[in-house]
Amino acid sequence: MKFGDLLSLALRNLFRRKTRTVLTVLGVIIGTSSILVMMSLGLGMSRQTRQLYESAGSMKTITVYSFNQKGNETEITDDTIKQLKQLAHVDDVSPQLDASVTAKCGPYEGYLSLTGVSQHFLKELPLKSGSLPPANTDTLSLLYGNHFQDNFYKVSKNSSANFGGGNGGDVHIDPLKDTIFYIFPEGYKPAPKNSSSDSGTSGGASAAAAPASVATETSDKPQKKYILDTAGILDGGSSGYNSYSYSVYCDIDTLKNFLKQRYRKYLVPEPKLNKKGKPVDYYVYSQAYVFVDDMNHVSEVQKKIAELGYQADSNMEWLEQSKQFTGMVQAVLGGIGAVSLLVAAIGIINTMMMSIYERTREIGVMKVLGCEMTNIRDLFLVESGFIGLLGGIIGTVLSLLISLLINFLAAQGGNEQLSVFYQNAEGGSISYIPPWLALFAIVFAIFIGAAAGYLPAKRAMRLSPLAAMRNE
């Protein structure tokens, strides 16, 4: 018997008992849509978790801190940067040099930290408008986070400081239009040494002398104000916030040149002191960023950095931990949906068994006329498989509609907590059904239907032709 004949006969048999077939298909629809929607919630959580970490920084970047795993301070110097660059699978390393400044703009005043990083780091940042700060120039230009103004407060004699928009303030500063004045700290100044000859005494005066070197500030001298160029503004993503939103970045080499002109041999406003209390003559960085060539090598490189005695972390590390959690969630949700599909499979078995009892005489006639056993088996398998196919297709379409409805309600703020969590990244959605999952659901429904029809098909093959012919 040809497959076309089997299919035609199977369809006629199914539609002979329309109500029973529709109810059986409905069971498969419910089972398929249940498992699809449940898995889509797990996949949506996994997808948004990944996008959240990606919005916080590159998945191929490792942050190295200036302390080890025991909490002891470990210097990050230019020698450290060279050492990190020599590690396998490392594309580049960017040190981070910070300079604290006071910023003033009209009635607003704030405290910012100018973060000097390499061009590689700057190119990783999401740019909204303008351009990146140029490399190693004489003019210091800044790249602002989209919420940098939250570091400002309105200066008022009659009220306390009210910072930024996030805390109820009303600070509006556009660095592309408004003039911002920057005041750098006076920096390190060694205290003058007192000598016994100056005081006219030989003992007590020298004993009461000031320390060899201290950091002092001069208040009688007017503070010099700088106007720095604006390179651009960073993008905050769909949520408007990310790890760069409150920062101000610049090219590290340009920042070094600027600070060196002001602080001369001390290099930075607050140089690190050696054991003798003297400023060191090299740069000490707050942290460094290691750029790895591939995501699959991040864990390996991070382990090597830890072996060098530095504390390091990466978004990839947190992502791997979150994958374990989301994997468990997907398994639980998928298991809940699978129960519905199992019930649907039992319904298919019941339908096919009832069909055998009703068509016993028909099966006997087919055997007497010389129909092969495999044809009888295939007939029932095609019938049960078609029930799975029809239920799988309708169930998948229904799941897609439910997924759209869930995402629409979340986007409308139906649940504020869920909306905040799932829409902090680009393209945020609670339910996510990729094409491969929809195709898998249909194929799996066909398989479940055929598997459920296997036992009834075997029973039909074993029927005795004579007993079947005598059946009324």
pLDDT in tens, 278-295: 888 899 999 999 999 888
Question: Which tens digits make up the pLDDT trace of 151-200?
Answer: 998 877 655 555 555 444 578 899 989 999 999 998 777 766 654 444 44
Question: Which tens digits make up the pLDDT trace of 84-101?
Answer: 999 999 999 999 999 999
Question: Which tens digits make up the pLDDT trace of 294-339?
Answer: 888 888 999 999 888 888 888 777 777 777 777 787 788 778 878 8
Confidence band, pLDDT 50/70/90 cuts, at residue 56? low
Predicted pLDDT at 337: 77
Q: pTM higher than 0.75 for the full model?
A: no
Residues in the chain, how many?
472
| Mean pLDDT over each residue of the chain, to the nearest integer | 80
Please report which residue ranges of 313-369 form alpha helices under DSSP H.
315-358, 360-368
The answer to whether 36 and 397 are in contact (CB under 8 A) is: no
The answer to whether 96 and 287 are in contact (CB under 8 A) is: yes
CA 450 – CA 395 distance, rounded (Å): 17
Predicted pLDDT at 284: 92
With a cut of 60, say whether residue 417 has pLDDT above it. Answer: no
User: What are 79's two structure tokens?
Assistant: 């020698």
**AA letter at 112:** L
CA 441 – CA 447 distance, rounded (Å): 10
Please name which of 409, 413, 407, 412 lies closest in space to residue 427, comparing C-alpha atoms: 407
CA 472 – CA 460 distance, rounded (Å): 16
Distance in Å from the first CA to the final CA of the chain: 26
* C-alpha dihedral (329, 335, 337, 340), degrees to nearest 10: -160
φ, ψ (nearest 5 deg) of residue 293: -70, -25
Question: Which tens digits make up the pLDDT trace of 212-253?
Answer: 333 444 445 667 899 999 999 998 876 677 788 889 999 999
Q: How far is CA 334 from the centre of its chain?
A: 23
With a cut of 70, say whether residue 60 has pLDDT above it. Answer: yes
CA 422 – CA 239 distance, rounded (Å): 10
